[in-house]
Amino acid sequence: MKKVFTRSIVSAFALTMLGATSIPAIGPVSGAFAQSKDGAPSDIVAQMVSYEQNHNWSAATPLWVSAEQAIYSDFSKDEKSKKEHLGLHNIQTAKLVDLKELSKEEAQAFVDFEKYEEQYEEVHVFYTAVNYDVFEESPYYLDGVNYRLAVVVKEQGEWKLAELSSAPVSAIAEAGIGFRTADEKEMAKLDSEKVNGKILNRNGEEVAKLSTPEKADQDGVNPDATGDHNKQYNINVRLTKYVNYSYYGCGSSCTKTIDFYYYVTNVLPNEVYVTWHTEALKACAEATKMFGWYHIFYPKYPTYNAAVDDTTNSQNFTVKTAHANTNAAVSAVGGIGLEKATSHALFESQYNAGTQGSGGTASTGKLSQWGSQYWATNGKTYLWILHYYYDKSPNTSYEMMGTFTYTY
């Protein structure tokens, strides 16, 4: 990052358009205003909320990075999503309440900051509070303030939005980098209920279950919950590859609910070499599974009613690519999940390719795939490998990594 912006500061340009001189609370911004190449990256967040308020989806499309524009446009025009009020079509009104920029060190536990740095000229991450009035509350949108992580990057000299994901409020508040408001504290408490497989609104009402409803008994108890977290059965994936969306009967990019086991087994062989050591494959299988699991809790693409997409922006999912070796690895770690050892909260189990022949650096919060192979061929088990990368890392809030069990 070339420049760090302090808490709740938006450029003078944006404030002029908002009709304000300071920003603990921003009203609905006034509609279309031209992006300034010299403006602050936070202008993009204000612009996006203004277009959400006005349902001006066509104007919002150019705010996204080039790789995302067609996907956003497809969803904004999707008649089924409009009719069912899914994703961005669930928004009735939108009002930007607050935002603050997180430093790279603060943000890297929640977004893959380094991946964005590799792709773009400059990266900024804003923790934002947006007050939504929605048609129907869901895991993606609640009535009242919704907390988001907005990743704004510089692409070909202009600020663009690269990610607008659901923020892990409890982890951010626990780290002391949030807004410290009464509402945030209340949402952090509700956030902790996700451990029990529940999405609660501000009235304490359950708006969604994070496990398959038919698995619950007549009292609503999930018999598969044997540890701290309910087993996940399905995941909403934004399908952007032709091979994927055509397989599911879509004419263009679309969001589909996919069996979670099928999802993981059709990600892993696209992320690693299937000939790797068994312990390396098991370590990578666990990281792959828990990355998806985490984003069921904290959707990366609430705009598209999806937890993840099918690209390396999330994980590389391709239908009909499962392999016996990687399937065996997924099965071998079935029933074991990753969490923070003290708080028992999930964390984003980030990973990257790493360097062949090197174990990589400990406690980065990012598993090295080649590093897993290095350590496995040197006699280390998959759990040792996972502890090596995730123990006392930013992703685990500098706690030790813990494990939990669930019926597999």
pLDDT, tens digit (0-9, with 9 covering 90-100), for 341-386: 998 899 999 999 999 999 999 999 999 999 999 999 999 999 999 9
Name the amino acid, one letter, at 255: T
8-state DSSP, 61: G
Three-state secondary structure call for residue 325:
helix
Query: In the prediction, which pLDDT does 376 show?
Result: 98
User: Within a 10 A sphere around the Cβ of 119, how many other Cβ atoms?
Assistant: 14
* pLDDT at residue 265, rounded to an integer: 98
Task: Sort strands 308-309 and 234-239 into parallel, antiparallel or unpaired.
Answer: parallel
Confidence at residue 228, expressed as pLDDT on a 0 to 100 scale: 56
Q: What is the pLDDT of residue 11?
A: 41
State the DSSP string of 375-402.
HHHTT--HHHHHHHHHTT-GGGTTSPEE
pLDDT computed for residue 231 by the predictor: 83
Task: Look at residue 406 in the predicted model and tell me its pLDDT.
Answer: 87
* 240-245: long-range pairs with CB below 8 Å, 24+: 240/71, 240/309, 240/310, 240/311, 241/310, 241/311, 241/318, 243/318, 243/319, 244/310, 244/317, 244/318, 244/319
Tokens matching residue 152: 């704004």
124 near 104, Cβ under 8 Å? no
pLDDT at residue 44 in the model: 97
- For residue 273 the two structure tokens come to 């070499």
pLDDT at 408: 79
Residue numbers of the chain with a pLDDT score lower than 50: 1-37, 212-227
